[in-house]
Chains A and B, each alone.
Chain A
Amino acid sequence: MSNPANSSLVFLFLRRMRLPLTVLILAYSIATLGFTLIPGVDDQGNPWKMNFFEAFYVVSYTGSTIGFGEVPYDFSPGQRLWTMVSIYLTVIAWLFSIGSIISLLQDPAYRRALRRVRLARQVRDLDEPFYLVCGYGDTGRMLTRALTDRGHQVVVVEHNQDKIELLEVEDFEATVTAFCMNANLPDNLVEAGLRSRWCSGVIAVTGEGHVNLKVAISAKLLNHKVAVYASADTRSEAENMRSFDTNHVVNPVEEYQRRLELAIDKPDLFRLYHWLNSGPHARLARHVAIPHGKWIVCGFSRVGRAVWQLLQERQMQVVVIHPDPEQSGCPPGTVPGRGTLAEELSAAGVEGAVGIVAATGDDADNLSILITARALNPGLFHVVLENGLSSHALFRAAEPDFLGQPSSVVAGTILSRISSSLVEPFTRHLLQQDNDIARQALAGFLRHQSDHPPQLSSGRISAKRTPALARALQAGSVITVGKLLADPRDWQQRLQLEVVFIRRQQQDILFPDDDFPLAMGDRLLLAGRDGEADRLRAALENDERLEYVLTGRDRQQGLVWRWLERHSG
């Protein structure tokens, strides 16, 4: 199938070259014709006329400004006059042609089209699984970085030229192909490789919810096999996306709500959940106890409203500060203002409050609220909303007690779901547990690592994926979770890995005990240090290695050695 964009570039080029080429041909032919007609004199003084061959020769080296000389005989004055005419005709024709070519190649629209053709070819030549990320804001950048660090190729679609230029100078571990076009148009998504059989997932994280919705719909309709993850701004958008079978929809406001709710009710579960869903470089949050009492919420945005509702449900008094109380449907008793001035905070009663939430849409305002409130009441608990990552250093320096970052929330939630399809049911079960179970699980993880979150991966026990384990199970041996996690290098040690979730046909088991027996067809979700899961997987494919892991006996490999072993006792 010929690529229409590619051939259209060639056609555009040819169309532009019509006039210059015509001028060139005319110039050369007029010059040549003239030389054949104008009389000259040969070395004996006889009249002589050039034939076409000689005429074309002379015109060729005149037009290309080489100028060998007057051949074969010196020119007569008439011929010399014609030479002058030829020079000006042909050289100007050349300059005109070359000028046209250069101006066409420098045309920004032409260069953009050229670039798109080259990128489309790059995408067509991809023969490895890749992810399509729509939107290169803070969230998109974090996702691209995390995915490429894991070795996946990524194709980025972003509308803004500046962000694309930023991307091109960054260094990634895997190939990133960046298209500067509008993700709203399904044709653009197809050009970016949506229908390729290597497209493993589409991630819609542009700044606008309705664009994400369009991307999610287009992706599911144009390629059934692809997994779609999207960020939604409102509940209706989220519902709409779910109705199209979007694999996972993240609503940042709902996520904040969920995390704040957990932080208030089940702090250890909050720490665990937050750690697993904030990206690959997230730090484990400190132990924070959200105080009960009077709270101030600055900014009645979607987040502000959600927090207000949350606190109200827990019987806490909440005072809202918002610039325009009547307009935004604020509750009675709202103090008008932004919250950045000390008078506004005092009017809201900051001296007697236990906590303040800075949830305006402007980062500078949020920082200002934080600092002003801290000056008025040093013991206040600060919850701050960070809108864009550009001021991140400032926010970290201000040391709020609870920092909400939309980009890492969305990116982290999506990344954990990309790791495995079991993460969704695992998370659902996890959120229903109580705080003690979460604390135990967290302690388990902290035995292996504390710097960055555990890596999640999953696998199925089957004859195809884990042949050795399948054979052992079919032979009737009882294999428990604990036995499986022995280090293949040293049987006495344990792998730095936990089995956190097992899914069977009839039941789901969360945090199975070490003596829980495994069965054929089980799907396991593993969490632990990077690379440990691969080591386990390698052990499960090889009979001898599996036996070592289970029993500590180092069986000999190979027919000869085994025969010797059997016969020596």
Chain B
Amino acid sequence: MNMSKVMFGFFVLLAVTLNFGFFIGDIDNPQHHDVYELFAALVVGLIATVLKFGERSQMGAILLASSLVVNLHLIAAVIVWAVAVHVTGTGLTPKVMASIVSLSGGALLANLVSLVLLTLDTAGLSRR
């Protein structure tokens, strides 16, 4: 029972699930997408990325790459939200909401790739 592997798997899975939770719902309805969940998805995503640092294997490299993509998308979503609501005063129009949710959708895809790779890695280990 490797504690660091438990932590690693926990954070990766948590990142995927929070991201999915935010994404699901009507793409242009602000009621369906809670800002706290976006916040949580971003924070856990960042932590998951940091945990993937320093891996030398090919698998580790792709995992890190996919994590960085997730962070990119989520940070972009946060910036769109902040700029639309606080800076330009546009507010959460359906168009803005749709942009935010699409960006989080992209992040979700990258998270899924991460999850699949993690599963493959685990499956590979168990065969040995």
Q: Which residues of A contact B (CB under 8 A)?
A: 8, 11-12, 14-18, 21-22, 25-26, 29, 32-33, 36, 51-54
Contact = CB atoms under 8 A, between A and B. Distances in A.
A37 to B, nearest CB: 9
B51 A18 contact: yes
Nearest to A33: B39
A17 B53 contact: yes
24 contacts: A11-B54, A11-B56, A14-B54, A15-B53, A15-B54, A16-B54, A17-B50, A18-B50, A18-B51, A18-B53, A18-B54, A21-B53, A22-B47, A22-B50, A22-B51, A25-B43, A25-B47, A29-B39, A32-B39, A52-B35, A52-B78, A53-B85, A53-B86, A54-B86
Contacts of B85: 51, 53
B82 A52 contact: yes
B111 to A, nearest CB: 17
Nearest to B87: A53
A12 B82 contact: no
Interface string B17-41: 0000000000000000001100100
Interface of B: 35-36, 39, 43, 46-47, 50-51, 53-56, 78, 81-82, 85-86
B53 A25 contact: no
B54 A12 contact: yes
B57 to A, nearest CB: 11
Nearest to A7: B56
A26 B47 contact: yes
Contacts of B39: 29, 32-33, 52
Contacts, number: 45
A14 B53 contact: yes
A94 B46 CA distance: 17
A293 B55 CA distance: 76
Contacts of A21: 50, 53
Contact of A29 (B35, B43, B54): B43
A21 B11 CA distance: 15
Given A11-B55, A25-B43, A25-B46, 16 more contacts: A11-B54, A12-B54, A14-B53, A15-B54, A18-B50, A18-B51, A22-B47, A22-B50, A22-B51, A25-B50, A26-B47, A29-B39, A33-B36, A33-B39, A51-B85, A52-B82
A210 to B, nearest CB: 35
A21 B81 CA distance: 25
Contacts of A29: 39, 43
Nearest to A16: B54
Contacts of B35: 51-52
A176 B82 CA distance: 56
- Tell which of A14, A51, A52 has the most Cβ of chain B within 10 Å: A52
A419 B35 CA distance: 77
A7 to B, nearest CB: 8
Contacts of B47: 22, 25-26
Contacts of A51: 35, 85-86
Contact of A53 (B46, B55, B56, B82): B82
Contacts of A32: 39
A21 B47 CA distance: 8
A33 B82 CA distance: 15
Nearest to A17: B53
B42 to A, nearest CB: 8
B107 to A, nearest CB: 17
A145 B43 CA distance: 59
B67 to A, nearest CB: 13
- Tell which of B39, B46, B50, B86 has the most Cβ of chain A within 10 Å: B50
B85 to A, nearest CB: 7
A281 to B, nearest CB: 51
Contacts of B81: 52
Nearest to B38: A52
